[in-house]
Structure 1
Amino acid sequence: MKKAVSVFLLATLPALYGAAYANQTSTSVDGAIATEANNQVAAAENNIANTAEVALQSLLSDMKQFRADFAQTVVDADQNIVHEAQGVLTMTRPNKLRWETTFPDETLLIADGESVWNVDSFVEQVTVLSQSKAVEDNPIVLLTASDIATWNKFNIRKVDTSSVEGDDVAKQLSSFQVTPKELGGQISALTLTFNQNNELAALNMLDAQQQISTLVFKDIETRFPLAADTFTVAIPDSFIIDDQR
């Protein structure tokens, strides 16, 4: 309302004070109004972004443990299904993850906090990567990271899912989109969706090739006994180790 009033008063200046005065002042007043409006928009956007980041941090910080069955579907830019998988995802904070597929093939990926171990039983090979390099600028790192430096690498906003899910379902969900501040990474955007119990119910990843990978979780657990070897890898003697750390 204040902006509308200011614009109205500016429009009436020629009639009130003469054309010469308006010509002298309109540029500076216009500029001041535009600058103030831009500042207000920027402040509002920052407040919204900060609120979204705090909300997402709170949800994830409460998720000290997470284990669930997942169904994964990957579609290309033309919405053709290029891959489907099923398995179990286990995570603990900070920085530990176990991704185990049971269909269509048995595969295992473990992030132990320092290294990422990708076990390919079919070719009997294990590829080892530095975890910090493997997830650099990848939004997925926020699932298990809690340090401010990592969070500062990403922009976070709240997503309205009502147009996709319908109003009744959307009211039970909270969705957040995470995008890297630095462009050029493999993952362009990550959307995390939480159910009415504040549990991670789905995630959606858009990669640099415009492929979209969607994971839907079920049988979600957030409190469970954790086996000591959950994030360790036993490598058979016959396997080749490709250490790229």
Structure 2
Amino acid sequence: MTSRLFASRRLSLWTLGAALALPCLLQTAPAFAGGVEKLKSFLESTHTLRADFSQTVTTRSGRKPQVTTGQLLLSRPGKFRWDQQKPYPQLLVGDGEKIWLYDPELKQVTVKKFTQALSGTPAALLAGDNNVEKRFTLTDLGERDGLAWVEAVPKQTDGGFERIRLGFAGDTLRAMELTDSFGQTTSLTFPKLERNPSLPPATFRFTPPPGADVAGE
């Protein structure tokens, strides 16, 4: 039951949930640079990140999309905090060793090993190290809707995501599209972004609240 809960309520980033996955201001890249070059520039030049996000999840059945909002924080490599605030609170914290998922409504904490939980996820792509091509196959997709797109396909298929697409306008990451193994498409936008802010170490630590049911490793 715990594994089903973690899968059904996981956050698509960082579902990274995921994992995981930011608009990010990058160092200036040549005008001719494609999506792959822009992604590599982002990974090389971004060490910490704070961004508001809006996430829309559309199921394979096409039912009314679910929209969530919150804040994402990164400290590369390996640490992130995905703080979903609406329509219901959820918190996903990666401390470099473990992934903590806290659901205040259920008063439940699920914990997994960092490497096991992140393989092939958006979090592995955006919060991982700079050697992205070790974990993903990258392909330039050209331009669509005024953005330069790159597709990242996980080389390991156990992370729950089939592909991750990132769209850049100039040197700014504007959009992400995530397709998971459940047939869901997650679209992310970042209306407010601060790149390389100073983030205290406590941002990426998690202690289960008193009375919470802790499941996992």
Bin for the TM-score computed over the shorter chain? 0.7 to 0.9
CA, structure 1 residues 101+184, in 2 after alignment: closer, same or farther (shift >3 Å)? closer
Runs (4+) of structure 1 exceeding 6 A deviation are: none
**8 Å CA contact retained: 1:70, 1:88:** yes
Maintained 8 Å contact 1:139/1:154: no
Larger relative contact order (C-alpha < 8 A, sep ≥ 6)?
2
Q: Check if 1:176 corresponds to 2:158.
A: no
Conservation of the 8 A alpha-carbon contact between 2:35 and 2:141: no
Whether 2:102 is the aligned partner of 1:129: answer: no
Structure (1 or 2) with the larger CA radius of gyration: 1
Greater strand fraction, Structure 1 or Structure 2: 2
- The answer as to 2:168 corresponding to 1:194 is yes
Paired residue for 1:160? Answer: 142
Aligned residue type for 1:207: D
Q: CA deviation at 1:55?
A: 4.4
Count the aligned residue pairs: 184
Identity percentage over the alignment? Answer: 28
Deviation, structure 1 residue 195: 3.2
State TM-score, norm by structure 1: 0.68
Residue pair 1:192, 1:202 contacting (<8 A) in 2 also = yes
CA distance in 2, matches of 1:220, 1:52: 20
- Whole-angstrom CA distance in 1 between matches of 2:60 and 2:133: 29
**8 Å contact kept, 2:100–2:110:** yes
Q: Which residue of 2 aligns with 1:11?
A: none
Q: Residue in 1 aligned with 2:48?
A: 65
CA RMSD after TM alignment: 2.0
Contact 1:88 1:101 in 2 (8 A): yes
**1:145 counterpart = 2:121:** no
Question: Conserved in 2, the CA contact under 8 Å of 1:63 and 1:222?
Answer: yes
> Which sections of structure 1, spanning at least 5 residues, go unmatched?
1-50
Output the TM-score relative to the length of structure 2. Answer: 0.77
Q: What do residues 182-232 of structure 1 show as CA deviations (whole Å, max 9, x unaligned)?
A: 446410000112333x33322110011221001110111103221331111
- Does residue 91 of structure 2 align to residue 118 of structure 1? no
- Say which SS state the counterpart of residue 46 (structure 2) adopts: coil
| Structure showing the higher helix proportion among its residues | 1
Helix, strand or coil at the partner of 2:201? coil
Distance 1:53 1:73 in 2: 24
Cα distance in 2 between the residues matched to 1:183 and 1:224 = 33
Deviations 1:58-107 (A, max 9, x none): 22221112111111111112433342101001112101110011100111
Is the Cα contact below 8 Å between 1:154 and 1:178 reproduced in 2?
yes
- Superposition deviation, residue 109 in structure 1: 0.6
Matches within 5 A, 1:1-245: 53-146=36-129, 148=131, 151-162=133-144, 165=145, 170=146, 173-183=147-157, 185-196=159-170, 198-242=171-215, 244-245=216-217
In structure 1, C-alpha distance between the alignment counterparts of 2:148 and 2:97, rounded to whole Å: 31
**Alpha-carbon deviation of 1:137?**
2.5
